Amino acid sequence: MVKKIIITGGPGTGKTSLIEELKKNNFKCFDEISREITLKYREKGIEQLFLSDPNLFSQELLNGRIQQFNNSINLQADCVFFDRGIPDIIAYLNFKKVDLSKKILKSIDKYRYDMIFLLEPWEDIYSSDIIRYESFDQVITIDSYIKNAYKEFGYNPIIVPKDNIKNRIDFIINSLK
């Protein structure tokens, strides 16, 4: 069975850079899909779907993450990495003080991951952009919601040290053994 591994953390903590490096090391990876959703809705005239309709955004995200999870099952690999997981949806809804749907809660129990690696806020590498609008103070708050969401659903996230990409990758790979 394929080991399903999450790389998570607040905005701008280096998740995508690690996923890209894992791909270069021939690991199977699924990219974060929130940017894709945001850009899709921008084409429809909605600047930030998460801010204007967090429930719709979260439903789109849930559908995409379930699809990624299901697509990972038949991969020919020992492990597969995901840039964020389903519990991240709960963290962000809690951050926005939005009620959780039963579908999301049921999905958390149904689609379980094997390991969680968490990247903590790191001001030295943080930058905002057209999609990443959060301030660094908000990143710190989001980090606490992410940690709580994973712990609440029985996960024990492994904190990835703040270091260069190579050393972070080595830490993750060595933790798999």
pLDDT tens string 18-75: 999 999 999 999 999 988 898 899 889 888 888 888 898 999 999 999 999 999 998 9
According to the model, what pLDDT value does residue 39 have?
Answer: 85
According to the model, what pLDDT value does residue 134 have?
Answer: 75
C-alpha–C-alpha distance, residues 66 and 24, integer Å:
25
**136-152 vs 86-95: helix crossing angle, rounded to 10:** 130
CATH homologous superfamily, domain 3-176: P-loop containing nucleotide triphosphate hydrolases (3.40.50.300)
The pTM (predicted TM-score) of the whole model is: 0.92
Instruction: List the Cα angle 74/79/85 in 5-degree steps.
Output: 90
70 Cβ contact partners less than 8 Å away, ≥ 6 residues apart: none
Do 118 and 150 contact (CB within 8 A), yes or no? yes
According to the model, what pLDDT value does residue 126 have?
Answer: 62
Rg of the Cα trace of the chain? 15
At residue 121, φ and ψ (nearest 5 deg) are: -55, 140
Do 105 and 73 contact (CB within 8 A), yes or no? no
For the chain, the farthest-separated pair of C-alpha atoms sits apart, in whole angstroms, at 47
Q: Specify the higher pLDDT residue, 156 or 46.
A: 156
- Domain boundaries, given as residue ranges, for the chain: 3-176
Q: Specify the higher pLDDT residue, 131 or 111.
A: 111
> What percent of the chain is modeled with pLDDT above 90?
68
Token pair 């590498």 in the structure block, residue: 125
Tell me the CB-side half-sphere exposure of residue 38, using CA atoms within 13 A.
15
